[in-house]
Structure 1
Amino acid sequence: MRASQFVILGLGRFGSSVGQELMEIGCEVLGVDRDEEKVDEFAGSLTHTVVADATDEEVLRSVGVRNFDCGVVAIGDDIQASILAAILLKELGVKQVVAKAVTELHGRVLERIGVDRVVYPERDMGIRVAHQLTSPNLLDFIELSKEYTIAELTVPGCLSGKSLANVNPRGRFGCSVVAINKARGIVIAPNADDVLNEKDVMVVIGTNEQIEQFQHSIRS
Structure 2
Amino acid sequence: MITRQVVIAGAGKVGRSIAAELLENGAEVLIIERDPQKVRVDALPGARWLLADACELAQLDAAGLSDFTVLVAATGDDKVNLVVSLLAKTEFGVPRVVARVNHPNNEWLFTESWGVDVAVSAPRLLTALVEEAVSVGDLVRLMRFRQSDASLVELTLAEDGPVTGRRIGEIDLPPDTALVVILRDGRAVIPSPDATLERGDEVLAVATSSEAEEALALLLGPAPQARAITGD
Contact map agreement 2:141 2:151 (CA 8 A) in 1: no
1:185 Cα shift? 7.8
Matched, 1:209 2:177: no
Measure how far apart 1:56 and its partner are.
2.1
Residue 200 (structure 1) shift: 5.2
1:166-196 Cα deviation digits (max 9, x unpaired)? xx8659x9988776666798363335xx665
Distance in 1, Cα, partners of 2:88 & 2:178:
40
Letter in structure 2 aligned against 1:87: L
**Conserved 8 A contact 2:132-2:154:** no
Residues 165 and 196 of structure 2 are in contact (CA less than 8 Å); yes or no, is this contact kept in structure 1? yes
TM-score by length of 2: 0.66
* TM-superposition CA deviations, 1:25-46 (whole Å, max 9, x none): 2111101111223221665254
* Alignment map for 1:47-196 (pairs within 5 Å): 47-77=47-77, 79=79, 81-96=80-95, 97-102=97-102, 103-105=104-106, 107-108=108-109, 111-113=112-114, 115-136=115-136, 142-143=142-143, 150-154=153-157, 156=159, 163-164=165-166, 170=172, 186=189, 188-191=191-194
Gaps of 5+ in 2: 225-232
Q: CA RMSD in A?
A: 4.1
Greater Cα shift, 102-111 or 55-64: 102-111
* Deviation readout 1:79-110 (Å, 9 max, x if unpaired): 1x333323332344142233223345464265
Instruction: Tell me if the contact between 2:54 and 2:60 (Cα under 8 Å) persists in the aligned partners.
Output: yes
Say if 1:137 and 1:154, in contact at 8 Å, map to a contact too.
yes
C-alpha separation in 2, matches of 1:150 and 1:106: 18
Give the distance between the partners of 1:136 and 1:110, measured in 2 at CA.
31
Q: Which string of whole-angstrom CA distances, capped at 9 and with x for unpartnered residues, describes residues 94-130 of structure 1?
A: 42233223345464265323x1414132243134223
The TM-score, its normalising length taken from structure 1, stands at: 0.69
Q: Is the 8 A contact 1:140 1:152 kept in 2?
A: yes
Specify which structure has the higher proportion of helix. 1
Question: Among the aligned pairs, what percent are the same residue?
Answer: 23
Q: CA deviation at 1:155?
A: 6.0
Cα drift, residue 205 of structure 1: 6.3
In structure 2, relative to structure 1, the CA distance for the partners of 1:189 and 1:142 (3 Å cut) is farther
Kept after mapping to 2: 8 A contact 1:178/1:189: no
Contact 1:67 1:94 survives alignment (8 Å): no
AA of the residue aligned to 1:21: E
The answer (yes or no) to whether the contact 1:33–1:54 under 8 Å persists in 2 is yes
Residues 46 and 117 of structure 1, relative CA distance in 2, 3 Å threshold: farther
